[in-house]
Structure formats: C-alpha cells, structure tokens
Structure 1
Amino acid sequence: MLNKFFSPASVEDEIYKIWEQSEYFAAHPEYVSKTPFTIMIPPPNVTGTLHMGHALTMTLQDIVVRWRRLQGYDVLWQPGTDHAGISTQLVVDRKLSQQGIDRKKIGRDAFLEHVWQWKKESGGEITKQLRRLGASLDWKRERFTLDDGLSEAVKKVFVTLYREGLIYQDRRLVNWDPHFRSAVSDLEVENKEINGHLWYIRYPIEGSNQHFITVATTRPETMLGDVAVAVHPSDERYKQWIGRYVRLPLTERVIPIIADEYSDPSKGTGAVKITPAHDFNDFEVGRRHNLELITILDAEANIDLHEIKEGDKTVFLSSLQGMSREKARNAIIEKLEQLALLEKVETYRHQVPHAERSGAIIEPRLTTQWYCDAATLSKPAIKAVQDGRIQFVPKQWENTYFAWMKELKPWCISRQLWWGHQIPAWYGPDDTVFVCYDEKEAEEQALKHYGSTQVLRRDDDVLDTWFSSALWPFTTLGWPENTPELQRYYPSNVLITGFDIIFFWVARMMMMGMHFKKDVPFHTVYLHGLVRDEKGQKMSKTKGNGIDPLEIINEYGADAMRFTVCALTGPGRDIKLGKKRIEEYRSFITKIWNAARFCEMNTVFLKEDFSLEGIAFPLNRWILNELSNVILKIDQSLEAYRFDEYASLCYHFTWDKFCDWYLEFAKIAFKSDDVHLVSETRSVSAYILKNLLIVLHPIIPFVTEELWSAFSFGDKGTLMIAQWPDFKKCGGLDNQQSVQEINYIITLISQLRGLRSEIGVPSAKFIPLLIKDIQSEFFVIIQRWSETIKRMVKIASIEVVQDFSSKNSIQTSIHGATFIFPLENIVNFDKEKNRLSKELFKLSQELERIQNKLSNENFMKKAKAEIIQETRERVVKLQSEENRLKLALNRFQ
C-alpha cells in the first residue's frame, strides 16, 4: 500500500542509486541501430556548489535527455567539470593562508600539489549535488578540463593556431586584477555604480604664469603617467593652445596639448588628460598621436615610478613610490591643494570596473600577453548561423550574437596564474620564443636556431579557462583521436544554457568547432533566462534574496523544484522564483500521489492481456482521446523547447482531466453492478496512469518512478527506460461521440457549480434542478449521468418542466436549454444582492486607484519594470473579478 503522503527524502537517494548502478544513463556507441542524441553539459566550476542557475540549466537538459531516452534514442549527456583557474586558485590560496602557508614561498609545484589534493577531496561536491537534482548524466564518461586527454588536446590547439598565425604575442592594455596579479577577460569584469568624486585640476600652460587648462578626472593618481592633454579641434576655448605645452603638476615634465575628437566639449571642462598606459580610450588616442606609454602602477596597483626619468621626478613624486593607488590619490590631492592647483571637487556617481572573482577594482595595465585572432575565427561561426546550420532559440538572440561577433577584438588568452593549462612556449636567452608540444621539441628548435644547446625558460602563464572549455564539444569525445564517440556524437544536437554565457562560451565553442572539426559543434542553441526572486530582482548574497536549491530539495523534494523552474521557463524571459510558487507545484505532486492512492484503493491494475480494442464506456473513450491529444501536444512542445508549455500540458491533463473529471466520474463506475464496466474502467485507469507517469517522468522523475513500481508497471528504477507513448496508438482518435458527450457533462457540471457559488448557496445544501426547453439527445445524456451530476453539483432532484416562473430562482442557459435553481427559503436574494453590490463597489474603487497609478507619468518613469508589470497584471485580475461580480449581480436583477 502507498503511504498516505509522498516523502521525497525517503525515496530519492535509493531511486537515483538504482538508476546509476544499473547504468541506465550510459550512452552506447555500439548501438548502431539507434539514433544518437547528444547534449554537452556546460561544465560547472570544480569549486562550485549548486545554485539556482545550475538547477534551471540542468533540469531543462535532464528533461530533454530523459524524453529522448524514452523515445528510444542512444543518448549521451556528457558530464564534466571545469578547472576554473581564478576561482580554484582563490579557494586553495585562502585555505593555505588559513593554515599559515604562503603560496609565493612554497612555489608553483608545491602549490599545484595542494590544488590537486583539494580537487581530489572537495572538487566533486558539485557532481554530488547534481545527483540530488536527479540529473541523469553518463557519469562514467566524466571529464575534467585539466585531465590528461584534454590537456594534450589544448596543447595541440594552441600550437596549431600559433603556427597558423592565429595566436600571437602583443603588448596592449588589458583588464588587470591586482589581487591575482593577472589579466582577466572583458567578460569577467563587473561594472558597479559607486559614489566617487570628480577632481578639477589645473595644468599650467608652459611659458605662462597666468593661464591654465583645467581637466576633470576621477583618478588623480594616474596623472603621473599623463603624456598629453587633449581638446576637441573645434572647441574655440582651446584653439589657441593646440600645439603648446602644459607643465604636468607634481613633476618636472611638460606634455603637449593635442587636438583629438575623443575630447567632448560638453563634458567636464572639454579638456581631458591622456594616460595611454592606464586607460583604454587614452590608449587609442596615444596610438593616433604616437604618444609615449608610461606605466606608473605595478602588478599590485602600487605606485611604481621606474618608467619615469630621474630628471622628471620631484622629491614629492619620489615619496609616492610603493604607495597603494588609494593612498597615493589622497596624497596627490592634498599636495595639489597646497599648490593651489585643485580648482574644485564634485561628488560623482559613476561605473567602476571590478574583477568578478576577487572583487578588486580593475586596473587597465600595459602588458605583453598572448592573443587569439577571434575576428578571423569568427567568420565561419557567423556563416553557420546565417545559413541555418546553427539555430538560436529564441531566434532573437541571433541579432545579439551577430552584433557581438562582428565587433570582436583580439582575445587575450593568457593569465598570470599557476593553476591551469601552462602555455606551451619556451624562451631562449634572447627571448626568442619556441611554441612546441613539449620541451624536447622546443630544445630541438632552439638548437637549430642558435646552433648550440641553450637553457630554455618555460612561459609561466596559463591559458584563459574559456580557451579550454571552448574545445569541450570535441575534446571530451577523444579528439584529436578519431574515436567512435567522436564519430557518433559530434556534433551534438542541442546546447542548453543561460544567455549570460553566449559570448564566454557558446560563441567560442562555435569558433573552435568550425576551425578544428570543420563542422558546427551543435545544431541548436537554446538560451534560457536568469532566475530572479519573486519580485524580479537579481538574486544576491548582499540582498539576502537568494534561494539555495539544496535547501529547496530538502524541504520540498527535487520534483517540486524541477517542475517549478520548468513551468516558469518561457521563451526569452527571466524566471521569478519564490517559495510560494514551489509550494504550489508541490501541491501538484501531492495531487498525483493522491490520485494514485485512489486508484490503488479501487483495485486499479493493468491486465497483461489488456487491449484498447472494444473500449465501450464513453468516459473511458473520452479520457483515451484526451491522452492522445496531450501526448501529441507534449511532443510538439518539447520539440520546440517550450518547457513552460510542456509543464502546463502535464499539469492541466493530470489535475483537470484525469483527477478532477475522469476519476471523479469513475467513482460511480467503480461501484457499478456492471462487472464489465468496472473491469474496463479499472484497466483504462491503469493504462492512463501508466502513460501519464511516462510523460511526466522527464520533469518529475522521482515520484513517477516510485509509482511505476508500486503499480507493477515495471521494476523499481525501470521507468526511465520504458517506451514513450505514440499518440496515434493510444486508442483515442476515433472517439468524437464520446468526447462530445463527456465534454457536455463537464460543461454542465462546471456551469452549475459556478452558478451555485456565485449566488451564495450553502456548500453542503442539496437543491433541486429544473430543466426547460432541452433537446432530447442532451436529456438522454443527462439521464445517463444523473447520479454523477447530483453528487458533483449537490442536486437533490432533476426535473424537466414546460414552464416555470418564480422571482426567487436563478437560471443559466447551456446549449439552448434553460437550467433553473428554485431558491425559495434557500437564498436571501436581498441579502445576496447587497453583498455583491458592496464587493463590486470596493473592487471598482481598488481598480480605479491602480489604473490611475498606471496613467501617472511620474510613476511610470520612476517605478522598476517588474513593479509596473505586476501592477498591470493586478489590473487584469481585478477586471476579471469585476466582470464576474457584475454577471452574478445581474442574475439577481
């Protein structure tokens, strides 16, 4: 017997172990008769723990792979984790610091030993958590971006691209993280709006004691690296000074006044200081005017004056050496005030770039780095989308993709870290570089180049983590070897991921796949939105509005969380998630469980010789038709990646059609004296339940698997390898007469129930029903279902009348017939009219208040988008309730 309540905690772990130990998740390259279906997991960071973004992505992927397995495909869902260079180094570095160990003192090799040990002990946490979610990945094929096979593949790609001229070294400005002392990607920089200041500094005109050019800056400390002041060529205020010089305050240096359109006369003073080694825009100005590049900050963002000539240094300037940029800023401002060169200070709110991982303020820094020619690699990837070989879902993401791909800059792929793929480059004594597969090959090249044996130095840098993860679709399958897996599972069918990594990862996989495999890495890219809180705000620790998926699983079960995120995933929109929504969908799980218990109590089981041939009872023919229709629509929804539609179809068929109508109607059939009717209804109930569990399984795998074995549809754990039903073979396509009959009864019961509710009939009160002007065919149906109608609408008697007149009655029309509730001594009409009038007045006032708010320009300008949307949704709900109350009141008139 099933327990009274479904307890996820008592079954989830056991069921998952059965699945995994039975190797039901495994792909089988040898099954050549089966069509392959492949999805690549976006490899989570090895440092990671499950968050709601993971939960959404993995749930959607798991739905698709479970569906395809049930359809008979040979499915590969490729698992693995990313070494996450910066994140992992940060985690282990902190761990060692707590133990009093300094990474710099123990050296690279010893530090990497600690990292590998940490990875062995703690690095698999995220994969354990994915199991809690129910993710059915082929775990025996799990890969790691730093495992031996992938590392060799990364070297091959680097060396190949270098020899093709698509990887090279260059000295350019990069986003520099002073905490890690490493370059970081543009995509790993988070702009934060902060309160700051705008300092107006006077730069004295050379040769004049009276004239100054004032520049406004948020970073006075970088003035030490200024090499020019730029003004707009058409700015009349400064035309006379173009070509002259200013004395750079605090130094012994003079710098030119140049004309450049980068200067905006409408901003600040119209004059801008140019510091090419510490600002990306200034770097471009410097290139146009062939200006000197002077770096004044070291790798940790402390003042470093070694590039400033001794003759240009003052005593004060020398005193700044080694100061942090923040302390130097304060000292410089104080000195400028003393020299009367600080004109004014304004408070200023502006965007400041921060390193996503460390949180440090980014410093634009001039360094020599390794670059990849992304613009050249992007061309085949752009064409693949243009000609339809890769399709984006939703399609509008194609425009975003094209816009970004056509503006690509060189991709900085080197990082000044220890953890990662060390760049396969060696340097000779004169810094000649040898890019090779290993040190032996580098030594051979060096011998040929120098004519003698030389001591070579390995490049210390590692590759950007996204470089290796860009190779994920083919290196995980054994490339560069032409393995059976590579031949069978590349390209994959679909990539499912968040839109926020379309440029981090998606576009780069497309570039690398097209270049090295000469084929797209996947045919479809499905991009889902972000998970936000129930008010539409981004989840964050500082706001305290985050939701931990593991806590949700512990409290509500994995199925409830999976169903919720699936139901809320609409095309092109973010998800507003709160516990209330999860509780609502947990009720759906409970509904399924209770329906199964009802079936069990009524001895519902599926006979071995059950056949759909000869099903006679209209109710059973109707539900078979509904099953056929819902399976067809579910297939269409999943083919189109409309996860919200899939969830909605499952929900409404289960709750509305199966539970609220079919099983309610079946209660009388189960008590019938007609043995054949009882037997048929039991068998059809079991058949519907069996197929319902199958179509629900991809979204709620645990509860469906538990019920599957409870009803002896198969051994525990075997539902996931059952056969997906064919809508054409569910026996429901030729049952239109039965469908019309049952739909008529459903409409009748629904309207009569609604009428009772509207007019305030006590819920426990049985009342008479009179029918006038009914066609004989409909009356025959009513007679056949009279006991069901009486029980479900709480009707004492049903009588056909030729005429009826009473002011104390309420009526409604259905298919031309009039249905009347005589309510003498049952409902106080005056009291009900008064109640409805008060409710309508109160609601109308509320509706008017909210509509006035939406017509208020001030509100519409200042309110957040999610608040405006919620207000509009509230109006729609109130208008619907208003119409209902008006209709109910009119019935009393």
Structure 2
Amino acid sequence: MAEIPKAYDPQDVEDRLYAEWLQDGCFTGAAEEGDETYTIMIPPPNVTGVLTMGHVLNNTIQDILIRRHRQLGQSALWLPGTDHAGIATQARVERELRKEGKTRHDLGREKFLEKAVDWRDKHGGIILQQLKKLGASCDWDRTVHTLDEDYSKAVIKAFVLLYERGMIYRGKRMVNWCPASLTALSDEEVIMKPQKSKLYYMRYELVDTPGEYLEIATTRPETIMGDSGVAVHPLDERYKHLIGKQVWRPFPKAAIPIVADDSIDREFGTGVLKVTPAHDPVDFEIGNRNGLEVIDVFTPDGHINELAGEPFAGMDRFEARKAAANMLKELDLLIREEDYENNVGFSERADVPIEPRLSEQWFLKYPKVEEAKAAVRDGHIRFFPERWEKTYLHWLENIRDWCISRQLWWGHRIPVWYRKDADRSDPANWHISVDGPQDPENWEQDDDVLDTWASSWLWPLATLGWPDEQAMSQKGYQSFYPTSALVTGPDIIFFWVARMIMAGLEFAGEEKKTLTVEEIKERIPFRDVYFTGIIRDLDGRKMSKSLGNSPDPLDLIKEFGADGLRFGIMSIAPKGQDIRFSNERVVLGRNFCNKLWNACRFRQMSGSVEAVHSVPELLGRIDTEQLDLQDQSILGRLLDTIRMVDEAYEAYSFSGITQHIYSFFWNDFCDWYVEVSKGKVRNPDAQATCLAIQDLILRQTLLLLHPFCPFITEELWHLLGFGEKGSHIQDALPMTSDELENALGEAGLKLDRGAVAQVDEIREAVTLLRSLKADYQLSNKKDVKIMVEESTLTLDGDAREVFGVIEALGGFSDIETVSESPDGAPAIVTPLGTFHLDLSSSLDVEAEQDRLNKELAKLDKVIMGTRKRLENSSFVDKAPEAVVEGARRQLEENERKRAEIERLLASLG
C-alpha cells in the first residue's frame, strides 16, 4: 500500500484520475431491464460559451446528484450537450464578417452556414472541455448538439405534428423586434430595465376649433409621424364632448380622429393617448377596435423611413426623438418636459431597446397548458424552493401564443415550402413536412428559422431518440425517461422549464386532447426541479466579466483544486438563494481537503493499515471489550451525520450536507476523537480497536464526501486500502444510518446512544476550562492544576476516564476533588460540575495583578476620552451619524472589558 504523500497536490491527482474514470467507463449511462435508473439532462450551454461561476454552481450540483445515485447502485445517466444559440452565434459570425467588410448577404445562405459551422467547430464546445476540469461526470459519448442531424429531425417533426394538430399558424401580429439582430423575439427574450426618460407634454390642435388644443403626454415623440388617432376614455368628463372630432397631427400634418377606448388610463399624463398602431401593442389593439390606419414609420434596423417625411427620414430612432421634440418647440406645440423613470424592454442577446413591430410570423398555441399546471400544482413535479410554483402557475394563467419564427439563418429552418409564383398567404400553396416536397424545383422554403427555445424545449425527449422508435430503443428512452431532476436557474422558468413540461405532455405518448393523472405522471420530462440562486460579489452585484468582479473558474481550480472550489461554493449555496461569493469560501474548501488529507496521513502514520474492502471486515477488527465512552460517542455521531446527510439530500439542501460533513469530520473526529485517542493508540491492548474505529470513520466520511469532492476521495480511498484493485469509490454502497447500526449490532457492537450527550458535556467543560485558563494568560502552561467541588459533580460512569480526557485536552496537570469551595480560586460552572483554577501553583499573583491594573488604567483613559466626546453636543450634532454610533459602540465595548478586568482582579484577592 502506497504511502500518503506529505501534502496533497490537486494538479498531480485530478487529470490522472479523470483519465482513469473515462478509460474505465465510470460515467457510462446504460441500463438493463429492471434496473433502477436516475437521469439528469444538462441544461445545454451555448455552444460558444465559456465556463462561468454560474456554470460551476449549476454543474457541481448536477455532478453531486449523479455521483450520489451511482453510489446508491442506480444506473445513472448525465447526458451532456450544447445549444446552437441562434441569435448569439449568428451575431458572432456576422461580427467576424464585418471585419472583412462583408455581410451574410454577400456570402449567401449556403456559404454563410458553412462559415458558421466552421466557426462553431473551431470556437464551440470549449465549455464542455472546461467542465471536465471541474470533474463533471457526464456520459461524454452521448454528447448532443441541437443542430445534430437526429436532433434536428426531432425539432422539425415536432413543428409538423403541431401544425397538423392545429396549434401552429402564420399571422401578422405585433411582435418584439430587435433592431440589432433584425429578428422577432418572444416576450421572454425581452428584459425590462428601468430607464431615466423624459415625459413630453405637447398639444394637438382641434381641427374644427382653431386655437383650441388637446394636451397629450408621451415618452416617444419620434413616433408622432405614425399617429393615426387620439384616444380618450369614454367616461372621461373632460373629453367626452370631443369624441368623433379631429385634431391635427403636427408632422406630417394630417387630420386624425379622436376615438373612445376603455383601455385608456385617465390618471396617466393628461388622460389623452396618441395612438400609433404600428409601434405599440396597446395602440395596435386600440387601432383595431376603432379602425385606425396602421402607419409604420420605422425601418427594421431602427431608423426612420420615408413615410415620416422630412427631416426625419433616415434618422436613427433616438436622433429622431430629439429632432421631433425640437420641431414641437419650433411649432409652439411643446408645453414642457419632465424627468420620468419607466421600464423599457431590451433585447436579451443584443442588449438594445426593442421595438414593437407589426410583422408576419409563425405562432404556436401552447399545448397541454392545463395538464402543465396540474403537473406542478398536484405535486407530480416538485419545485425546490417551492415558492417558484406560484411564479410558474401565474405565467401559465396569463400565457400568450409563442412567436416561434426568427429572421435568422443559423438554426432549424422552418419546414414550410411555398409554391413558386403563388399567393403565400393562402395555405393551399403551402407544403409542410419533415422531408420537403418531392418536386423541390417548384417550391421555395421559408427563409426563417425556429426560435432556439423551440428546439431546446424537446431536450429530454430528443436526446433519447424521440420520435424515432429504433433510436429511442438504442438510447434507452424506456429506462431514462422521465428524467429524475433538472437543475437550472429561475430566470428561464418560462423560456425552458415550462415549455419542456408542455412538450413532454404533448409528445411523450400518443396524441390525446386531454390526459389522465397517470398519463401526466408518465409523460412529464422530470420529477424534481432545483432552481439555483444567482452568484453575486460581496457587494451584492451580479458577477460579470464586464464589471470585472467575476473570477475565472479555471484559475480557481488551478490555485485551489477542483474539489476545493466545489466544496467551497456548495458550502454557501442555500436552497435557491442568491450567493455572496468570495475566494475565502474556496480557501475554506481547500483547507477542508487538506484537513482530510492530513487526517488520513496521520492515520497511516499511527499504525499499520491493512486493506479492508467492506464494513464487516472493519468491524471484525474491533474488540468490543475495548470500547469506551469516546468510541461510543464518535460512532453515534457518525450515525447521526449519515442520517442528516440523507435527509438533506431529500430536501436538496446542499449547503446543509457540507455543514454536516464538515462539522462531523473537522470538529467531532479530528479536533476531538483523534486527540482523545492518542493515548489509546500508544496502548498495545487498545490500539487495534481504536485504529479500526478511525478507519471506519474515514471510510464512511470518504463515501459521504465523494459526490462533493470526487478527486481527493478517490485518491484516499485507494491509498488507505478501502478499494479493491481496479475498482472505484463509486462502486461502494454508502450505508444508511440504520444499515450501519444494524451492521454494528451484528458485530456485537451495541451502541449506547447516550454517549453522544455525555461527550458533549465533557467537550463543553473542556472549552469552558480552556477559556478560564486563557483569562489568566495560562493557555500554554501544562502544569496548571484545577479543583472540582465534589457536591456539584454530575458524572455518569468512570470519573477517572473523564478527568483523564479533561487533563489531556484542557492542558491540566491534575484534577483534585474538594469538599468545599476554595477561597481566592477563580471558578467556572460546567455541565460536569463547578471547577476552580488553582492559581497558587501556576500564576505569579502579584505580577498578574500588576498587569491587570496597568491594563485597567489604560482602559480608563480611553473610556474617559470617549465619554467626553459623546457629552460634547457639537460632536454629537455635527459628526456623521455613523461616526457617533461607532463611538457609542466603542464605549460600550470598553466598559464591558473594564468590568471583566475588575472581575479578574477580584478573583485574585
């Protein structure tokens, strides 16, 4: 058995072990009939993405879950892949083209797509390689890209099926338009941002009564040229008499009608709305109800077109806003401008303000909405934290048809062909199929592609071969669907989570209008959804490269090791809450790994280490006659820790798991049990039993910790001889608390469960006595004697055994039992009794009194100075509130210190 090196070097271990895992097929997701399975589908990162701290958090959680269930003996599949990221990838390729002075139209569609594929193959998929450095145990042989041929066929098949079922239609409707990417966006791809705007108050002259005006407030004077009416509320007494009359649109000057509409907010602005049907969804609806003309004065890229007239044609939309305000001033029609804060929609990908635009697009009526509600509401799918259920259900209650077409070339091209030289608006001239028309020369395919989310909503299905039955059989659809858990962020609960649920309910079985409860259970794409929090810096800002507050995870892995990063970030990952991250947490993770390494090395140095491959083998080396209170307690602590870890897994409390393992191993085992065991290790009669218990603790701790820290636990598993040659730690089943207790019982080790409480009292007593020594500057002295009042003792069992522990860990030379409270000896009450510190033999009382009196004198000067400052009204009134409050806190703390010194002096007589 190899000797454990003095220091743990992650760089030496991680790449070597990961290569071994791959070679031995440790991550292969395969299942035989009847196997219990566990499945996770990775939320596919953008093919152009790189590893971020958000990815570290999300993928570490997934890896923990998948490794945990491999340990439990289940056939576990973690399927990886990447998303083609339609808008983001096309934007990057077009940016490269612009450097060459070209556009995609210069290349043509076919050549552009070839260039996009080349760019993807060169720059894409980097993130998957980076995830391997984190230790991600995906079945890499199953890696899927959403533009893979099989996956693309599934996407196209879903479109065709939904069209045939009457759920996809083409129509001209108001959509969110990105002037930068030149494509429609869904509502979920629009991010609302607070903006400091202007509210412009202007006046429109009444046509019939020159010199009389209607006051109107707007944030968008650049759309005046598209006004085709003015609207008021039908019950607004201020304007009822004007309904049906006309006002003059300032430019281009034209008479437009005053109409009545119930949607008008009488409290906003002046209660009068200028109606621009082509540039606002509310205005579009008002225009439809009142027969107003639709005048589109914008170009697709956000400039003003010729319909707006001079001087606006050709201007950028924001340039036109200023020009329109200036022209209103020149015409004496601008009343005033007010600062105004409002929310403006931005394109999620291009980060520019979107424009509402009337556009011919493909739309989807969401399938199985009621069943999707029931799946979560009735608990067939569980959300962690539960609060996201309300958000999910609220969205489904207010759902609108999904605009699924995008004006891009990179993506899944819509499988609709139009007969050449025929009316495209007539469905009779459409051909919609997976393979296209048999006479393609007579048809032209739709130029648009599908929204990226219209492919990724099929992720749990298409990755397992749907809809091809042969592929489904080969990829284990029957074994791995529905999947077990989804780990994602709440920001895509609508983009992805809800849509995957609806897709599963619609496609994972025969076509049905409605589903029974049992059918819902069979079709849902996953059982549990865990929503991660957002990683923020210590100031609460979301981490981003642009802010410069986000570390590179690969640098952290290089400095602290993958296990240190994983354990550190999970230790601050409360369920679904945002995370305040600093490198200190990764330092904590690295330090814990070092503690584990050093404890295992210390065990190896303490006595011979024999290879043992099972718990019964270990228990067979324990002599029950040699078990003492400390042995009983640490075994009880182990059982409690295993139980709490199992419960925390059920609740998806990952930070809870790290806390349980950390507290048990560092505090209970290393800081206490190993220390109290040092004497027994030197005792030939007790050594074997003591080391066997240490081996049991180390073995089960490695198993508990493995999902969080896979590298160091695998390495130590073999260095301590727990694993057979050629095996891996994931092959060993971690016992439940009950199973381990039964195994102990079968080996003749009946635990005294009261031992934990007794040892807790001893530990508390030691802590209090150490503190008492520290009060008198005696922490480092080992010749200190203490006395305990016999009448206060509450010991169960052998007093000498307990006193021996106190002497060893408290640093005392002797414990004397006395019948009365000794005079002049400082006392402290502990759970075991009242103890007194014998200062006569260990402390120069006069020197200590002198030291404390000098300290008291210094403190009195500080207290007096602080009091004078606080009694000075000039200081209290003029100094910043934080400074004054700080002085008050300082005074309170120093007065507390003074009282403590006086107490110590009194105890010295």
- TM-score, length basis structure 1: 0.89
Tell me if 1:651 matches 2:662: yes
- Per the alignment, residue 535 of structure 2 pairs with 531
Of 750-759 and 421-430, more deviation after overlay is shown by: 750-759
**1:680 maps onto 2:684 in alignment:** no
Q: For residues 508 and 117 of structure 1, what CA distance do their matches in structure 2 show?
A: 31
- For structure 1, which segment, 811-820 or 880-889, has the greater mean C-alpha deviation from structure 2 after superposition? 880-889
Q: Distance in 2 between matches of 1:457 and 1:26?
A: 44
Indicate whether 1:718 and 2:728 are aligned: yes
Amino acid at match of 2:716: L
Give the CA deviation at 1:280.
1.9
Deviation at 1:545, TM superposition (A): 2.1
How many equivalent pairs are there? Answer: 845
Structure 2 CA distance for partners of 1:879 and 1:300, relative to 1, 3 Å: farther
Q: Equivalent of 1:566, from 570, 573, 588?
A: 570
* Aligned partners of 1:559 and 1:702 also within 8 Å: yes
Q: Confirm or deny that 1:425 pairs with 2:416.
A: yes
Percent identical = 38
Residues 366/201 of structure 1: CA separation in 2 closer, same or farther (3 Å cut): same
Corresponding letter in the other structure for 1:617: L
- Contact kept, 8 Å, 2:233 with 2:265, in 1: the verdict is yes
Asked if structure 1 preserves the Cα contact closer than 8 Å seen for 2:172 and 2:360, the reply is yes
Q: Cα gap change, 1:205/1:37 in structure 2, threshold over 3 Å: closer, same or farther? A: same
Q: 1:238 aligns to what?
A: 239
Which deviates more from structure 2 when the two are superposed, residues 146-155 or residues 728-737?
728-737
The equivalent of 1:11 in structure 2 is 13
Structure 2 counterpart of 1:212: 213
Is the partner of 2:230 in helix, strand or coil?
strand
Secondary structure at the counterpart of residue 778 of structure 1: coil
- In structure 2, do the counterparts of structure 1 residues 278 and 836 end up closer, same or farther at CA, with 3 Å as the change threshold? farther
Residue 586 (1) aligns with residue 582 (2)? no
Going from structure 1 to structure 2, the CA distance change for 1:838 and 1:525 (only over 3 Å counts) comes to farther
CA distance 1:234–1:836, shift in 2 (3 Å): farther
Deviations 1:539-586 (A, max 9, x none): 234433223322222222211221122122222421111112222332
Q: Distance in 1 between matches of 2:535 and 2:705?
A: 23
* Within-5 A mapping of 1:332-351: 332-351=324-343
SS of the residue 2:295 aligns to? coil
For residue 762 of structure 2, what is the aligned residue in structure 1?
Answer: 745
Letter in 1 for 2:554: L
The Cα shift of 1:87 comes to 0.9
Read off the aligned partner of 1:98 and give its amino acid letter: K
Displacement of 1:812: 2.1
Cα–Cα, structure 1 residues 326 and 778, in superposed 2: closer, same or farther, change >3 Å?
closer
Partner of 1:699: 708
Letter in 2 for 1:205: L
Superposition deviation, residue 138 in structure 1: 0.9
Whether 1:509 aligns to 2:500 is yes
Whole-angstrom distance in 1 between the partners of 2:463 and 2:693? 46
**3-state secondary structure, aligned to 1:9:** helix
Q: Distance in 2 between matches of 1:584 and 1:219?
A: 53
Structure 1 counterpart of 2:619, one-letter code: S
> For structure 1, which segment, 490-499 or 750-759, has the greater mean C-alpha deviation from structure 2 after superposition?
750-759
Corresponding residue for residue 770 of structure 1: 787
Structure 1 residue 103 and structure 2 residue 104: aligned? yes
Q: Partners in 2 of 1:354 and 1:726 — Cα distance?
A: 51
Matched to 1:692, the amino acid is T
Q: Do the aligned partners of residues 885 and 61 (structure 1) sit closer, same or farther apart at CA in structure 2, a change above 3 Å counting?
A: farther
Residues 662-677 of structure 1 aligned to structure 2 (within 5 Å): 662-672=673-683, 675-677=684-686
Matched, 1:437 2:397: no
1:581 aligned partner, one-letter code: R
Q: Is the 8 A contact 1:24 1:721 kept in 2?
A: no
| 8 Å contact kept, 1:773–1:802 | yes
Q: For structure 2, list consecutive stretches of 5 or more residues without a partner in the other structure.
A: 510-522, 871-879
Contact 1:694 1:704 in 2 (8 A): yes
1:810 aligns to 2:801 (yes or no): no
User: Is 1:491 matched with 2:482?
Assistant: yes
Q: Quick check: 1:61–1:496 contact (8 Å CA) kept in 2?
A: yes
Bigger Cα displacement from structure 2, 695-704 vs 229-238: 229-238
1:410 match: 401
User: In structure 1, what is the Cα distance between the partners aligned to 2:276 and 2:760?
Assistant: 77
**CA-atom RMSD in angstroms:** 3.1
Aligned to 2:516: none
Q: Structure 1 stretch 406-415 or stretch 328-337: which is displaced more?
A: 328-337
Which stretches in structure 1 are left out of the alignment for 5+ residues?
A: 445-453, 850-858, 864-870
CA distance in structure 1 between the partners assigned to 2:792 and 2:821 by the alignment: 17
Distance 2:460 2:892 in 1: 51
Find the residue that maps to 1:736 and give its secondary structure. coil
1:550 paired residue among 549, 554, 559: 554
Which of the numbers 446, 462, 465 marks the counterpart of 2:452? Answer: 465
Question: CA 1:816–1:650 in structure 2 vs 1: closer, same or farther (change >3 Å)?
Answer: closer
Once the two structures are superposed, residues 45-96 of structure 1 have per-residue CA deviations (whole angstroms, 9 ceiling, x without a partner) of 1111111111111111111111111110100111111111011111222223
Cα–Cα, structure 1 residues 194 and 658, in superposed 2: closer, same or farther, change >3 Å?
Answer: same
Structure 1 residues 837, 161: closer, same or farther in 2, change over 3 A?
Answer: farther
Distance in 2, Cα, partners of 1:333 & 1:716: 78
Residue type at the aligned position of 2:550: G
The answer to whether the Cα contact below 8 Å between 1:159 and 1:435 also exists between their aligned partners in 2 is no
Amino acid at match of 2:379: G
Q: Does the Cα contact within 8 Å between 2:79 and 2:138 map onto a contact in 1?
A: yes
Distance in 2 (alpha carbons) for counterparts of 1:546 and 1:588: 23
Shift of the alpha carbon at 1:256?
A: 0.9
- Give the C-alpha shift of residue 805 in structure 1: 2.4
Q: Which moved more, 1:649-658 or 1:276-285?
A: 276-285
Q: What is the Cα deviation at residue 338 of structure 1?
A: 2.3
Q: Which amino acid aligns with 1:805?
A: P
Q: Which whole-Å CA distance do the structure 2 matches of 1:884 and 1:138 have between them?
A: 61
User: Which residue of 2 is the match for residue 866 of structure 1?
Assistant: none
539-548 or 32-41: bigger deviation = 539-548
State the match for 2:875 in structure 1: none
Displacement of 1:645 in angstroms is 1.0
CA contact (8 A) 1:491 1:520 kept: yes
**In 2, distance between residues paired with 1:69 and 1:22?**
14
Q: 1:283 to 1:717 in 2, by over 3 A?
A: farther
Name the amino acid aligned to 1:14: R
- Note the C-alpha offset of 1:106: 0.3
Instruction: State the one-letter code of the partner of 2:661.
Output: C
Tell me the amino acid that sits aligned with residue 691 of structure 2: R
Match of 1:447 in 2: none
1:163 CA drift (Å): 0.9
Q: How does 1:355-374 map to 2 (within 5 A)?
A: 355-374=347-366
Which residue of the partner structure matches residue 382 of structure 1? 373
| Residues 370, 885 of structure 1: alpha-carbon distance in 2 compared, 3 angstrom cutoff | farther
Pick one of 634, 638, 659 that aligns with 2:649: 638
Output the TM-score relative to the length of structure 2: 0.87
Task: Give the match's secondary structure for 1:676.
Answer: coil
Q: CA deviation at 1:418?
A: 0.5
